[in-house]
Structures are given as C-alpha cells and as structure tokens.
Structure 1
Amino acid sequence: MDAFSGGTFFAQFDEEELQSYDWVINGTGSSHSLERGNCSSLLLSLLHNGYAQKHPHGGIVVDFQTGAVVDQHGQADLHLRAVGHITCGNYYYTGSLEMIAKKCKEIARNTIELLEHSTKTAQLV
C-alpha cells in the first residue's frame, strides 16, 4: 500500500487492478487485550454499546467464515468486519501482514458479492 499526494491510498492485491481508497483506518492498534488502557476508544464504544463482544481467548468475537463482528446477541454484522490481532480468539495466526492481507481480500470479495446480491434484489422490486 502506498500513499500519494492528495491523500489517496493505493493498494494492489495479487495481479489485480490497482485500487484507490480515500481512507484507511487503523482503529485498534496491535493489542488483542480489551482491558481499559490497552483498548482503543472505538473498540470500547463497540463493546459498551453491544455491537461487539469479548472473545474468551482474546480480542472480539467474529464470524469465522466472514470476519463479521458478532454483537452481544450473537448476530454477525456483515457491515462491520475485523482483521488482525483483535481477532486472535477466533483465528490462530493473525499478526502477519500476509495473513491480514489475505483476510482483507476475502472480506472485499464477500462485500462485493453482498453488494451485487442487494443490487439484483433491488432490481426485482
């Protein structure tokens, strides 16, 4: 990933076309601990408001297949995904850039599929 003048970020995955992003957000840092002082205000807010729940083995609970954050009622939110150290309770190896990039690619493909499905559904209505 590279940042160029104008504040745009560019990333290329495998042999695919170069993608541009206006924003890249690191909302968690590298800690998998969710104790106050070790946890970002974003994660504390998600936990406090029930949008996420702590995993007993560290980090937050995510749906294994999609990386979707699981709320306090056990429902996976496909609009909210997590990758990296914060998913250490669900996945064995979460810290390498290679694994994070692989999971981000899976999430991006899944998001595209969801968008295509919702577009088709909207056209039928």
Structure 2
Amino acid sequence: MQKDCPECGEKIIGRADKKFCSDYCRNAFNNKLNKDSKNLVRNINNRLRKNYRILEELNPKEKTKTTKSRLISKGFDFQFFTSIYTTKAGTVYYFVYDQGYLPLENEYYALVKRNS
C-alpha cells in the first residue's frame, strides 16, 4: 500500500508507520497545525520575559521599593505574572518566576526575590 506525505503529497518510502516523507515536511505540517496557539504562547512568554527583566533591573539587592509609575514607564504589564503567594496574614505577592512584587499604599510596590 502506497502512502502519500500529508504535507507535500510525495510518495513515502521507508517504514510502514512512517507518516511524512522527511523531517522538513513533518515540521512544516506541525508548525502550520499549531500556528495560532504558538503565537498566543509566544506573546505571553514575551510579556513575562519583559516583566521579569524589569523586576530584576529594579531589584538588584533582592528587596527594594519602587513606584507604580516607574514600573509602567519601563513597560511593566500588571496582567502578566506566573504565580500568587498569599501569606498567613493575607498579604498577596505577585510573582514572575522568582521576582515578586507587593502592592503597598500610595501606589508604591515592594519588590522581592524568592529564594529557591
């Protein structure tokens, strides 16, 4: 039984369970299949990376304080974070990987680094 490559239509030679004629066709087929979801993931990862770099730049000594306007001026996006940590007292920290921030009064933020 002859099978054709779903990407380019060429005859497949080799193992009986082979689905594509080459690695190129396999990759091209799967990239087309996952294109929309990959763009979403790529955009979110780019925002998380940018937020992480901003927190890391503003918090070189693992604990500091900054303003909301300073974060925003550097391009920080408060909608993107990787986890939330709530203390026993009910204080809520937002983390981008190991860099975190805590909203304080008067639009100030405490920046912290989580020790691993």
Q: TM-score, normalised by structure 2?
A: 0.28
Structure with the largest fraction of strand: 2
Larger radius of gyration: 2
Which structure is higher in RCO with an 8 Å CA cutoff and minimum separation 6?
A: 2
Q: TM-score, normalised by structure 1?
A: 0.26
Structure with the largest fraction of helix: 2
